Amino acid sequence: MKCPTSLTFSDSQVRQGKVIGFKSPDHSTRWLQITTQPMVMPGEREVGAVVSTFTDVTERRREEEARQVFTQRLIETQRLESLGLLAGRIAADFGDLLTGVGGYIELAQNRGERDPELCNLLKQARSGVQRVSQLTEQLQAYAGKPLFVLKNLRIAEIVDEVIRLLRSTLSKRCVIEVEAAPNLPPLSGDAVQIRQLMLNLLLNAVEALAGREGRITARARAEECGREAFEHCVAGSTAVPGPYIVLEVADNGPGMDSLLQAQIFEPYFTTKEPGRGLGLAAALGIVRGHRGAISVSSVPGSGSLFRVYLPVQAAPEASMPAAPAAAIRRILIVDDNATLRTVVSQMVRNLGYEVESAGTRQEAVRLLESPDRHVDLTLLDVVMPGGSLEESLRAIAQAHPRAKVLLMSGYHDQPLTVQTDGLCMAGFLRKPFDICQLAEAVHLAMNKAEAEPR
């Protein structure tokens, strides 16, 4: 780079705003802005001198760089949230469709028992529905909208359980070590989802080694985290300062460059064969659903480190039922999807119950208020048009103060706890579901005591 002062001497041009960087004695980078002004002496035509002004703009430069990093991170977060919203909506629609398709297949199986060839075809169709259901669950996890059953978990036990399961499938060339701090506080979370999170991170580390000899380390510790802990995290916008369980999965594989790190949480992005790529996307969704954060640090040739922050918060303990409820005779199905109402109604009839159905909240309230239609259990879709879940539950409670409600959904904005104060909840049923899962959920709701005051 030519010196601005020399250039001004040669062409007599004023130069403003040229910024140069240099290493200071403490090895940090400093930035100077140079302005040059030619000086022509009286009676002379040539430039006799140049006035150079040097302004230290290091702090301004750092602020601009930090602002650019923040803007880029905000754009990335918004993009991932948009993908998550899209994935959640797709999963919700698939949940309704699969419940309908799977229900009709089961009903057909019950009627075609005498035709072995038909039964085999229906069995294959049902197997396909189950595989799509598993894909739907992964989409729900990526969206951060799976239905959670929050319980107090011992994270060290979950880590040990997942690693015991994984070790039995690994070659001896891959060594897994566990470093769990003693006396970790309980974590409020969904056990199934946290297991899936650990399994996905560990499998990603195993695949990074690609059969080569290597080492994977899983760590768990408690940490008091400030906002600075989440600065370089994905999905860290909802994380707040406080106590956290920090999970780490490190490997000494080939590592990743910055371009690859920016893409790894996208659904279906993979460096392996096509058709994969939901593992880390689902892990991100699970973390997001637990109001946590996740980060990755990696350098090509030096392995990778994934760090997960999960907030420590005690889950409410569900009250024990005092006595079993009376046998349910009539079930009200409330869902705005007509196909799903039809097939679930038939499934419920096959279980031996009388059925009423409603496509709107208002229609459900009218049926509950009817003196000649006693309803023992209401099977309610979580996402109904015309109001929130809480509004629907309060309307049902006002129409029938002793009503029990079994929620069903494949998509929800907040985790559903086992107990909700002031609302008549008897559990929930995750879409898509089959007739066996429906029968089990209805049985549990049927035996749930009227423990909550109305």
165, 260, 353 from 442: Cα distances, Å: 32, 47, 10
Does the structure show a pLDDT above 70 at 216? Answer: yes
For the chain, give the percent of residues with pLDDT over 70: 80
Mean pLDDT of 281-293: 85
Over residues 388-427, the pLDDT tens digits come to 777 888 888 788 877 788 888 876 544 454 344 445 577 7
**Model pLDDT, residue 310:** 93
**Model pLDDT, residue 88:** 61
**Model pLDDT, residue 332:** 92
Q: Which of the four pLDDT bands, split at 50, 70 and 90, describes residue 82?
A: low
Crossing angle of helices 58-111 and 116-143, rounded to 10°? 160
Does the structure show a pLDDT above 80 at 317? Answer: no
Mean pLDDT of 167-179: 84
Mean pLDDT of 85-97: 67
Q: Which residue has the higher pLDDT, 394 or 364?
A: 364
Does the structure show a pLDDT above 70 at 303? Answer: yes
**Model pLDDT, residue 417:** 47
Q: Which of the four pLDDT bands, split at 50, 70 and 90, describes residue 454?
A: very low
Could you tell me which of 320, 449, 442 has the C-alpha nearest to residue 377? 442
Looking at the DSSP assignment, which residues form a beta bridge with residue 175? 215
**Model pLDDT, residue 424:** 58
Q: How many CA atoms does the CB half-sphere of 251 hold within 13 Å?
A: 24
Q: Rounded to an integer, what distance in angstroms lies between the CA atom of residue 125 and that of residue 105? A: 7
**Model pLDDT, residue 178:** 92
Q: Which residue has the higher pLDDT, 95 or 314?
A: 95
Mean pLDDT of 359-368: 88
pTM of the model: 0.50
Q: Which of the four pLDDT bands, split at 50, 70 and 90, describes residue 323?
A: very low
**Model pLDDT, residue 243:** 93
**Model pLDDT, residue 425:** 72
Q: Rounded to an integer, what distance in angstroms lies between the CA atom of residue 322 and that of residue 291? A: 34
